[in-house]
Structures are given as structure tokens and as C-alpha cells.
Amino acid sequence: MKYFSTRGADQLLSFEETVLAGLAPDGGLYIPEHVPSLPENWKMAWKDHSFVDLSVEVLSLYISPEEITRAELRALVEKSYSTFRHPDVTPLKKLDEKTYVLELFHGPTFAFKDVALQLLGNLFEFFLKRRNARKAPGEKPEKLTVVGATSGDTGSAAIYGLRNKANISIFILHPKGRVSPIQEAQMTTVTDANVHNLAVQGTFDDCQDIVKSLFADREFNATHRLGAVNSINWARILAQTVYYFLSYFHLRRSVPNPDEVEIQYVVPTGNFGDILAGYYAKRMGLPMGRLGVATNANDILARFWKSGAYEKVDSGADAGAVGASAPVVGGSDGKQAADASGVRETLSPAMDILVSSNFERLLWYLAFEGAAQGEDATARRRAASATIADWMGKVKSDGRVQVPVSVLELARRDFFAERVSDGQTLETIKYYFNSDAHYVADPHTAVGLRAARVVSAQNPPQVRQIVLSTAHPAKFSEAVTRALQSAPSFDFERDVLPPEFKGLLERERRVIDVEAPQVDLVKKVVERFAEPAGEVGASI
């Protein structure tokens, strides 16, 4: 299996090269040259598999045994998921007869990002060790400088996946004051010498744009050998496909007539990576209905499925409704006001994203399917890549692109989308806590649960919904406490707070303040701290 960029289809990379590169030099994202089909007997052969077993089976479809042997792959997977607290890794929990949550937060940092980033950290280490073992005595070892942007959970998951790994330095950018206190503490209290946290005065999109600019700077990239941990890295998407398979088998075991059931996945999403993994699973042959895109007030994705316009600012909104004091329709208060960049601050901050990076991968498949059917696969691939380069160029220059109706129809074939306000998020947290399941959902999971409830009324009776639960509720104490403050039976410390979080906010921290969202300021930090020398804790 080889990989190519969504914006230029000629250069083919190995899996190792794809993982270490992260972002393509032309700004595109790497995708596999084809999506493999499942083995003929997969339903029977895999039905009793553990998460580790399924990971080996699914990943081996995308990774040549000449690159990573099956024994090496199993060792990597076992090491990665030995850090999880639940034996199923991502357990499926039933809320009612037709609604389930897939809990993805049983890893070291209590967020779904652990599933991919524990594996990605071990892949980085594996590839570097192998490369350095081949070097002659005295030859300088290869090193990797990992850079990433986070809206909350990616940062801590990446740090926990890479802390104290030889020949790897990690720099994580987060928008200062725009992540939850627990999320910030999880990142900044890790004081390993190879870990560097950058608090950027700006938004997540600013941080993400800086990271993309660093990768696009060929000289800087070559000097520091940059590696990506954001979901632009293909290995993250691949790792996340596995829990769709696990939940499929676990749900089938829980219902009396599994062959009569249709599964509908609903995914709270900002950067489109988690739901894109489900799309790949579906293309491989995993049976499911349309995938549900659940967004908060930062609804670029929901608006796309409504109109076919992928645009940073809603061109259909009233001009006066985009100001810094305008509350979102349906919001509980003015907290969801848009800042100057257009990002709205919500109770589900990991989804406070203006542009969804992984959406480009889906757009490529839609453009490929819509290309002239008479051409051969290579010509269609080149045409799709040229289309994506054009579309993403328009998003960068004009802030928007309008796709053809035929492309929108293809997107609606496999997805639907719903937008959820802060007020609805709070109501949903309260609803499920007061339900028979007595379930405490974090605000991102609540966005997914609300979207699922909206569409459930139109679902046929055989549909069962699986909502991806992306974070432990303790990471968002403000939203959860606010939603349940009137519930007499609720006690945050007793019902929610895990022992690992106690005292976290009081621990020593290490963070570098970046006073403006400027690429050059971040470059100075990397140049200063990528080598062992350099003082700790500063402002740039």
C-alpha cells in the first residue's frame, strides 16, 4: 500500500514515509492509493476479536508486511493499548433500547485522542529506532521534532504518547485561555525535557494555521525534521477506524436479531477526523447507515450539508449577527459570541474550530467519484487532486468554496449533519443524568446525543444509534456542573472526578507564552528549545 497527497497524485509514499511526513509538501493530506475491501469471511473470523486483535487485522490491510511484520505490528498495538483502563479499550454502553455510547475516553488522558496517539507515539519511536540502528558507528542519529495544535485533547494525548521518547521533541500549541482548566493542566504539568507547551494568544485555527505553515516551509521542515500529531497524520485516522469495528460486533451481541439491525453512528466533530475514520470503515465494507455529523455553534460542517458551501463565515447570516456580542441562536447566553476570527466560544471547546482540516480528505473522494467515469483511475485521481487544490485554494484566498450540486448529493448519501447550541447541550447532559441510565455525558458527547435524538424520530424501527463519547466528563467540570446544579442527587467529586485528576490543578507547570499568532514567533521557540540547551518557561 502506498499513499499520495490529496492535492498532487503523482508522488507515492510508503506507510513509514507517510507517518513521518504528516502533511504533504503541497499542503495536502495523505490518503491511501486505494481503500482495501474486508476479507470475505471477516464477520465470522473477527466476531470474537479483542480491540488488539481487530487493530492488527485492520491495520495490516493498510501496512505492508515488508514495512512492519505482523509480529512487530502486534507488539506495537499491544504496547499502545496496555495503557488503557478498560479491558475492551473502547467499551460500548447502552443508554436505552435504541441508543448506545461508545466510550473512547479510557486511555491515559481520558479522551478519544489516546486511541490514535498512543499508537502514533510508538510508531514514531519504532521507525526512528530502526533507522538509527542501521547507521554506522558514530553517525549522527535521526531525530524528529513533532509539532501540533490542540483545541484541548490532542495536546495532552500527544504529550503522553511521546513524553521521554528518545530522539523526539514535541511542541504543542494551544489557544491561551480557550481550553478547559483540566485540559491545560494535563498538558502543562508534564515536565519531561522533550515536552514543550506553547500558549498562543489566538484561536485554535490560528494554532493550526501556524503548524501548517511550519510544514509548508521546506527549509525549516528539513532542518528540524518535523512530524505531525494532529489528525492530518494518516496514522491517526487509521487507528480510529478500529473502534467502529469493535462497536459493530459488540452491538450485534447485545440484540436478539442482529442481522435485522441497522447501525447509525453519530459523531461530535470539529476537525472531522473521528467521523472520517467511520467513513473509511464504511468504504471498507463495515455495514452502517449514514454517518451523523454533530457540530456545536461552530457549524461550518452543518452548513456545508445544508447548502454545499464550505465557508468560514456564514454568508446566509445577518451581517449584524457576526459581531463580538452576538449570541448564537438557541444558545444559553452570550458566551457563544464570535470573536474577530469568527470562532464562537462554546461549552464544547474541542469543537470550537473554524475550518475542519480532515474534511479535505472526504472532499477528495467526492471529487474522485464525480470525475469523468470514462477516464482511467490514474487520470481520475489526478483530476480529483487538481480539483481539491483549486477548492482549498479558494477557501484560503476567499474564505469559501461552493461545490457542485452533484458533489453535495454524494456527501448527503453517506452523511447527515445537525447543529447543537450550548443551551441544548446543557439540556442533554441533564436529560441523560435524569434518565434510567443515570449517565453523565461530557459536553461534546452531549452534542452527539442531542443530534442523535433529533434524527431518531425519523429513523426506521430497526435503527440503533451509537454516539461516540469523546471525553470523560471530568475534563469539562464547568459545563457538567452547570447542567446538573439543580440535580439534588449529583455530586461532582463522587459521581465524576477520577482519582487521577485530584490535585492536578495545583501541580508545577511548564509553559511558554507566545504573545501573538505569528509563525516567526513559534519558529523562535522551536529553534531555541529543540536542542537540549535553553532555559525553561519564558515569553516570546
Q: Which residues are catalytic?
A: 113
Alpha-carbon Rg for the chain in angstroms: 22
Length of the chain: 540
Cα–Cα distance for residue pair 92/79, rounded to 1 Å: 22
Q: Residue 154's Cα: distance from chain center in Å?
A: 8
User: Identity (one letter) of the amino acid at 127?
Assistant: F
In 66-78, which positions are buried (b, 16+ CB within 10 angstroms) versus exposed (e)? ebbeeeebbebbe
Cα–Cα distance for residue pair 301/141, rounded to 1 Å: 43
Cα–Cα distance for residue pair 511/513, rounded to 1 Å: 6
Instruction: Kindly report the number of other CB atoms within 10 A of residue 321's CB atom.
Output: 12
State the DSSP H helix or E strand holding residue 101, giving kind and residue range, or none if neither.
Answer: strand 99-103
CB-based burial label for 166 (10 Å; 0-12, 13-18, 19+): exposed
Cα–Cα distance for residue pair 467/167, rounded to 1 Å: 38
Q: Which spans in 178-294 are helix H? A: 181-188, 204-216, 218-224, 234-240, 242-254, 273-284
Q: What is the SS3 assignment for 400-421? A: EEECCHHHHHHHHHHEEEEECC
